[in-house]
Structure 1
Amino acid sequence: MSFDSSVPLRWVDVDAQGHVNNALIADYLQEARVDWLQSGANAHLLGDATMVVSHQVEYLGPVFFSTTPLRVSLDVGVVGAARFVLGYQVFQDERLVSRARSTLCLYDYRAARIRRMTGAEREWFAAQSVALEPFRAIDGWRVGPDASEHTFTVRWSDQDAYRHVNNVRVFDYFAEARVRLTPEPGPDRMTQAAAEQLTWMVARQDVDYLGQIVQRPEPYRVRTAVAKLGRTSATLVAEVQDPLDDRVLARAHTVLVSGDVSGRPVPLPKVMHDSAAAWPAVRAVRA
């Protein structure tokens, strides 16, 4: 049986395009996930025993500010020895606005390793397990030698109870890098879009967490490349890297759609074609 969680909206969730920013959907999923865990026998896992491995998020419609909370319906998918998958449907006024999947694992932060579930922990997850419809794959790309680069520093408020950057904040880092995806000097991509009466809509975003990002004085960097172009959509791949050792700490695959002011898809503007020529992604090498 699905678990339903009521998630209130905040006025500050609304972005410059007049609707809730895409990154906030991951925040709402997190609120529902915490609500679900706190409701049952595995509430003890909150705070020091779970880690997000990946997210897949489909954006099906805009979310607008309202004093009526969203309804997030959560289901448990595959349950393994140390990992479990969650599925979500997000509704505003019973309109389906997003679907998502998350993979989480149990993690011993003191020993810095993944740990297996106890029998009782796995039993609680498995009792709720149902078959989840798989999402269409959009991964398979990597950032090549030529990429758009954006540096950022971690804010103190980006940290969570585990003393590393919360998984939701990583969506923000990728978004800030996308805004700056312009090969020529001048206004950023969003400013150009506003001047041309265009909007950019995120249709899908998958994030894989490959290492921990921590608060420190030294900056991190995001490298972004264009994987493929359609008539009205573009697929990007981006990586958060540690410049101190070049480790990739997170990777995102994002599908963007170009739209007019009403949200109707329109052909991609020149800036995206120029970006694809300047920063082409490369196919991932399968092991």
Structure 2
Amino acid sequence: MSEFAFTTRIPIRYRDIDPWDHVNNAVFATYLEEARSEYLDTAFDEELGTRNFVLVNLELDYHAPVTYDEAGVEVAVRTSAIGESSLTLAYEVRDGDTVAATGETTMVAMDDDGAPRAVPEEWRAAIEAFEPELA
């Protein structure tokens, strides 16, 4: 996970497990959401409520099942692209040494009226400072 700027550990909850003792596929989107929120809090160094983004795309590829483990899963996050009004994040979900899933989300910056707007320069600068290879 060395190419990822951020990693976090997400607990596996009992409710996450399906009848086959695997983490249900839909739960992976929640893991990405939790990791994305922590990543943005860290990169922006400010509260979530000060940023207006709308998720417009979510892609997940499943590579291996995840079963319950008290250690949880590790989710790595990095910004893969900053567009005019969008931010694309890449993810890797690991269960120990196994890559269980990879994903990508695209978010669009919104103004107070709910219309798309350009990614503010201060947001762009904060992400580029957190991930210098984007600059």
TM-score (norm 1): 0.42
Q: 2:66 and 2:50 mapped to 1: Cα distance?
A: 29
2-side partners of 1:78 and 1:48: how far apart?
18
Give, in angstroms, the shift of residue 8 of structure 1.
0.7
Matched, 1:50 2:53: yes
Show structure 2 runs of 5+ residues with no match: none
Bigger Rg over Cα: 1
Q: Percent identity?
A: 25
1:85 equivalent among 84, 88, 96: 88
Structure 1 residues 129 and 55: alpha-carbon distance in aligned structure 2, compared to 1, 3 A threshold: farther
Q: Is 2:37 the partner of 1:34?
A: yes
In structure 2, the CA distance between the partners of 1:61 and 1:130, relative to structure 1 (3 Å rule), is: farther
The answer to whether structure 1 residue 121 and structure 2 residue 96 are counterparts is no
Q: Which runs of 5+ in 1 are unaligned?
A: 132-287
Deviates more, 1:24-33 or 1:39-48: 39-48
Asked if 1:69 is matched to 2:64, the reply is no
Q: 1:123 Cα shift?
A: 1.3
TM-score, length-scaled by structure 2: 0.86
Aligned structure 1 segments of 4 or more residues deviating by more than 6 angstroms = none
Q: CA RMSD in A?
A: 1.9
Matches of 2:45 and 2:25 in 1, distance apart?
29
Aligned residues: 130
Q: Deviations over 1:149-172 (max 9, x none)?
A: xxxxxxxxxxxxxxxxxxxxxxxx
Instruction: Report which of the two has the higher share of helix.
Output: 2
SS at match of 2:19: coil
Higher relative contact order (CA 8 A, sep 6+): 2
Tell whether the 8 Å contact from 2:7 to 2:77 is kept in structure 1 after alignment.
yes
In structure 2, the CA distance between the partners of 1:44 and 1:116, relative to structure 1 (3 Å rule), is farther
Specify the code of the residue in structure 2 equivalent to 1:93: G
